[in-house]
Amino acid sequence: MNIPKEVQKILHTLEAAGFEGFVVGGCVRDMLRGVAPKDWDITTSATPTQVKALFPRTFDTGIQHGTITVLQGGKPFEVTTYRIDGTYTDARRPDSVTFTAQIEEDLSRRDFTINAIAYNPTHGFADPFNGRADITRQTIRCVGNPTHRFTEDALRMLRAVRFAGTLGFVIDPAAINAITALRENLTRISAERIREELTRLLCGTLPGALSLLESTGLLPYVLRGTPYPAPLAQTVQYLESAPTDETLRLSLFFTPFQQNGSAPTVEKIMRDLRYDNKTIHAAALFARLLPHPIPAERYAIKKILQQLPQDLVKDSFEKLLALQQITGVSDTAHNELLRQLADDVLSKNEPYLLKHLAINGDDLHATGFPRGKEMGAALAGLLDAILREPAANEKQILLNRLHGGEK
């Protein structure tokens, strides 16, 4: 077990003060799978007050749930007191949490056996639910009775599918049956928590797990009451051939909402799921551009470049090409042509935005042109001509064109 030295130091400090400390959850699961953990969570018998007294630099991140962030070697680590979740009345959040001195009690509140293993270099493993065996069997199994556990917190149903997709594990049949029976409870879960798990599922290595959302009937509840507007198998096939980039995966998943008139728009469904504006704009733009093949000529390419976020124009164009290739709108050879043309347009600084024009509204106004809608249309007209004729982007030429209509 390769535990970073900062984490070992935290465990040691807790033990030297007479408490227990274990790494727990995703990091133990990932170590056992031979995958480098992305973060290290620590669980301890010390109360939050005791944790704060032991470490010089801490933050009260989630103190009401027992979590203190400890800064060790300049890095943050979450240290959470062993706790038992109180009763659940809303299928969402425990009504209360109680701290306990027994690690087994803390492990028993966790969702799946593979996530309920703790490890400490002096004690070895605490694994009361045989999570290690389930990692070997590549099985997602609930800690305890699936019906009870999914009734307590309905998000766990979606988490089961998310872990199936990110780990490539299978879900135990008893859990699948419970999900199918209890799927409607997902309506009680906040859009934010659903979005978080959906995004992780879409960005996982095995997006094929999406089909479990369909077979269990969870999918319309994930989508806040809306049926998915296309055959899911097609989307799965696209996702499987896409890199794990979040914008690409979200665009592929949400594009069918753009193409089906009766379904909500991409913007609407993503807003309902509380995606942030930047993410929504990117996915909606790609969804809109995706179905239309781009001719291999400079004018058409500039019309596309105009619509992309300018701080990431090359990267966004590249993503659009990738999406078109995945969905069969374009192919490698055509994309290579488009890429060369776009590179050439950009490296030669050919004008394609209003702000690239050699004149602006003030220049027009100075020649007596009234401000307003008409001026906007006049500038847009000039720009459109300049897209085909970049050499004519000179102030005098443009003014002549405008006033005389001649060249």
- Which residues sit at the interface with ligand ATP, rule CB under 6 A? 25-26, 38, 110-111, 115-116, 153, 155-156
Q: 15 or 78: whose CB is closer to ligand ATP? A: 78
> Which residues are within 8 A (CB) of 358 and not within 5 positions of it... i.e. 6 or more apart?
351, 393, 394, 395, 398
Q: How far is the CB of 25 from ligand ATP (least distance, A)?
A: 3
How many residues belong to the chain? Answer: 407
Q: Which stretch binds Mg ion (CB under 5 A): 22-30, 65-73, 144-152, 354-362?
A: 22-30
CA atoms of 25 and 43, how far apart (whole Å): 9
Interface with Mg ion by CB under 5 A: which range of 21-29, 79-87, 166-174, 373-381? 21-29
Position closest to Mg ion via CB: 26
Which of ligand ATP, Mg ion, none does 351 bind, CB closer than 5 to 8 A by kind? none
Which residue is at the shortest CB distance from ligand ATP? 26
Sequence-separated contacts (24+) of 390-398 with Cβ below 8 Å: 390/348, 390/350, 390/351, 393/351, 393/356, 393/357, 393/358, 394/358, 395/358, 395/359, 395/363, 398/357, 398/358, 398/359
26/76 with CB nearer Mg ion: 26
Q: Is residue 154 left, alpha or beta, with left meaning phi > 0 and alpha meaning psi from -120 to 50?
A: alpha
CB 138 within 8 A of CB 145: no
| Closer Cβ to ligand ATP, 155 or 320, answer by number | 155
Binding to Mg ion by residue 76, rule CB under 5 A?
no
Where are the strands (E) in 145-221, listed by range?
A: 170-171
Return the number of the residue (158 or 341) whose C-beta is nearest ligand ATP. Answer: 158
User: Choosing among ligand ATP, Mg ion, none, which partner's interface includes residue 156 (Cβ < 5 to 8 Å by kind)?
Assistant: ligand ATP
26 binds Mg ion (CB under 5 A): yes
Name the CA dihedral angle for 8, 9, 14, 18, rounded to a multiple of 10 degrees. 90
Cβ distance to ligand ATP smaller for residue 156 or 302: 156
Six-digit token string for 202: 């879409």
Determine if 264 is a binding residue for Mg ion (CB under 5 A).
no
Residues that bind Mg ion (CB under 5 A): 26
